[in-house]
Amino acid sequence: MNTTMTLTTVALMCGSAIGGVSLPNVWGPMEHVMISLDNGAVHAHVGTHAGNAVELQRFAGENYDGAAAVLDDSYYSSQYGWVADGFISLDAGEFMWVERVSSTAGLDVYEGGMRMMREMHTYDAILGTGGSDDAWMWSGMMVHNWYSADALGSYEATYEVFVGDASGNAVLGYDSAMVTLNFNAVPSPAGLSLLGLGGLVAARRRRA
């Protein structure tokens, strides 16, 4: 890969860091909330916990276009993704739902999608954010929503995952599951600045 291709790739990964790109930043490995259905029981688990929470980062001075502007001047991340852990078979008129049970004040959630397809995300407020419904219908596909906070500190959100009808009413005969997502809002690292990108390119040149 030449220097130009390296810089372009990093720019896409880092959102609006360079080149006038006006999409939110993406960083860190994906953290999957694994959902499965076994003999009428929903299961949900995630590898993170309060001790190794997903980081929410703020990129001061950045402004994002269109609906993504809801993330302006906030600490945010799209690392958590809802993913099927195996094949999930539901009857006609049945859907998988996620409903907020509790969340730390100041933690907001906006609808995403495939993580790198940021231009196609709706950025709609969901899961109780801004007066939205506490329940959100999960499509069964990989979906990385955007979590944001308004201040530094620790946050968490606990959700119930259940099978419901099109209106979000629980369907009898299924057991639901609970899962808690943990976050820590921290300052943005200098590594995503232009200086950091330049250092990466320089390192690539030395190896070429």
- Tell me the per-residue pLDDT of 108-124, one tens digit each, with 9 for 90 and over: 999 999 999 999 999 99
pLDDT of residue 187: 84
Question: One-letter amino acid identity for 192?
Answer: L
Query: Which residue has 């219908």 as its token pair?
Result: 137
Which residues contact residue 191 at a Cβ distance below 8 angstroms, ignoring those fewer than 6 apart?
none
Residues (pLDDT < 50) of the chain are 1-21, 191-208
Contact predicate 97/116, CB 8 Å: no
Which residues contact residue 117 at a Cβ distance below 8 angstroms, ignoring those fewer than 6 apart?
none
Cα–Cα distance for residue pair 134/151, rounded to 1 Å = 22
Cα–Cα distance for residue pair 58/72, rounded to 1 Å = 9
Contact predicate 98/161, CB 8 Å: yes
Task: Mark residue 131 as left, alpha or beta (left: phi above 0; alpha: psi -120 to 50; beta: remaining).
Answer: left
pLDDT of residue 60: 87
Contact predicate 171/163, CB 8 Å: yes
pLDDT in tens, 47-70: 999 999 999 999 988 999 999 999
Q: What is the CA radius of gyration of the chain?
A: 19
pLDDT of residue 190: 53
pLDDT of residue 106: 97
pTM beyond 0.85: no
pLDDT of residue 121: 98
For the chain, what percent of residues have pLDDT higher than 90? 78
pLDDT of residue 101: 98
Contact predicate 27/57, CB 8 Å: yes
pLDDT of residue 199: 32
